[in-house]
Amino acid sequence: MFAAAESIAPVAVSAAAVLQHANGPAAPLPPSPTLPDPLIFRNGDRVRNPHDWRRRRLEILATATAQMYGVAPSARGLRFEVMERDGDAFGGLALRRQVKLLFKGSSDGPSADLLLYVPRHVRRAPVILGLNFWGNQTVCSDPGIRLSERWVESGRNPFIDLSCVVDHRATERCRGIDARRWPVENILARGYGFATMYRGDIDPDVADGRVPSLRNAYPELQSRGDNFAAIGAWAWSLSRALDYLETDRAVNASRVAVFGWSRLGKAAVWAGASDPRFAAIISHESGAGGAKLFRRDVGEDIHRLNTHFPYWFCANFKAYDGMDRELPFDQHLILSCIAPRPLYIGSAAGDTLSDPEGEFTSGVLASRVYRFLGFDGLSTTTMPPVGRSIAGRVSYQIRPGGHDVLDYDWGKYLDFFDVWLKAGGHAALET
């Protein structure tokens, strides 16, 4: 439980020192930025005890909502339509359920299809939940998965060949095309359920307003500076999936971890920060708007986010174009809102846009809040060499290679779940 607050000395964050330390002498930093301190309220008052921290956390979330992630609708009216209750998958290893989340309660309103596998050998399984990029049918070749009927991007991009997509619709040939990034059978064999939804059910991830999105289903949340935006919508949908999982007796909903890669990692981070029901969070190469600090001025910046993906964050965020150091928070504050729940930050050395050192440093800074609350955070402030990981309640890895999801990454994350998510792991989800 929470430690006595007075055992934690309030430390003024010397950002330059922490950043230099993490970065090593070889990589010079821009002149010392001032980083907001998670343990100081915006009015200058110190956070003195866990009760103060709960208020400070809400203050951080409110600021980040107003300036960056945007508001989200109420979940009132949400209904679930179970389309398949007990499908048999992977030769009996798991049961398959497919559930339509009806966000406004009706089948002609906005919806998303949740695919859930639960290992039959585990009673009330912990679950790993994550959004997928190209449709539920792409995560494995299970012929029982309903083909998405939504708009899907097509062609070939550096990450996948989508030539199976015809007229922006999935075809049978799309089954399993992204399976190498989702070791579903292995996840199930290790004792975890696996749940996923297609990002395009929630947001097509294009600026073109002609393709329907969940954002547009809430016009009353659009014409305002803190409008409902894509990253916020993805995060919100993860919480709605958790609402469903709470009703499913095959699942232990107090042990649901959220995983996300890249832009969907940004969504996973925001979902984990804003919804305390998520028991553990994996930020996989989430970069700018995820784990990475803006104030280091390394990798993707606010201007790039706003110009390439103007619909990801709310209109107020546009005011920070070229002013990354003026944002009233930085991403270590968002990670702090996850404390004291287990958090794994995964980086790749070649993923320079995501600034691995900025992701690591964010974890270092957020760890102060873990310690303040009486838990261990990252056990070092020194950036590990490529190929090494640091295990703990806040874990970090930097692997060789580029922006991708590899079996190697899942190996690390599953080991982390064995400790922190599984009943009987040493973790005590005592928080």
Catalytic residues: 262, 403
> Burial code of 79-94, b = ≥16 C-beta within 10 A, e = fewer?
ebeeeeeebebbeebb
Taking CB under 6 A as the criterion, the residue among 288, 378, 405, 427 binding ligand GCU is 288
* Least gap, CB of 288 to ligand GCU (angstroms): 5
End-to-end CA separation in angstroms for the chain: 6
By beta-carbon proximity to ligand GCU, the closer residue of 262 and 347 is 262
Size of the residue set binding ligand GCU (CB under 6 A): 7
By beta-carbon proximity to ligand GCU, the closer residue of 300 and 324 is 300
* Least gap, CB of 56 to ligand GCU (angstroms): 28
Q: Supply 166's token pair.
A: 């015809």
By beta-carbon proximity to ligand GCU, the closer residue of 227 and 283 is 283
Residue 292 contacts ligand GCU per CB under 6 A: no
Q: How many CA atoms lie within 13 A of 26 on its CB side?
A: 2
Residues 255-274 that bind ligand GCU (CB under 6 A): 262-263
Residue 287 contacts ligand GCU per CB under 6 A: yes
Residues 213-232 that bind ligand GCU (CB under 6 A): none
By beta-carbon proximity to ligand GCU, the closer residue of 248 and 300 is 300
Strand extents, DSSP E, 177-279: 193-198, 251-261
* Least gap, CB of 353 to ligand GCU (angstroms): 6
How many Å separate Cα 31 from the centre of its chain? 30
Q: Are 392 and 413 in contact (CB under 8 A)?
A: no
Residues 308-337 that bind ligand GCU (CB under 6 A): 308
Computed on alpha carbons and rounded to an integer, the radius of gyration of the chain in Å comes to: 21
Q: Can you say whether residue 249 is alpha, beta or left, with left for phi > 0 and alpha for psi between -120 and 50 degrees?
A: alpha
Q: How many CB atoms lie within 10 A of CB 363?
A: 27
User: What residues contact 404, with CB distance under 8 A and at least 6 apart?
Assistant: 159, 181, 348
Residue 301 contacts ligand GCU per CB under 6 A: no
* Least gap, CB of 340 to ligand GCU (angstroms): 27
* Least gap, CB of 175 to ligand GCU (angstroms): 22
By beta-carbon proximity to ligand GCU, the closer residue of 199 and 255 is 199
Residue 220 DSSP one-character state = G
* Least gap, CB of 183 to ligand GCU (angstroms): 20
Residue 391 contacts ligand GCU per CB under 6 A: no
Taking CB under 6 A as the criterion, the residue among 201, 226, 300, 404 binding ligand GCU is 300
Q: Supply 264's token pair.
A: 């969907």
Taking CB under 6 A as the criterion, the residue among 29, 179, 353, 391 binding ligand GCU is 353
Strand extents, DSSP E, 186-338: 193-198, 251-261, 280-284
What is the binding site for ligand GCU (CB under 6 A)? 262-263, 287-288, 300, 308, 353
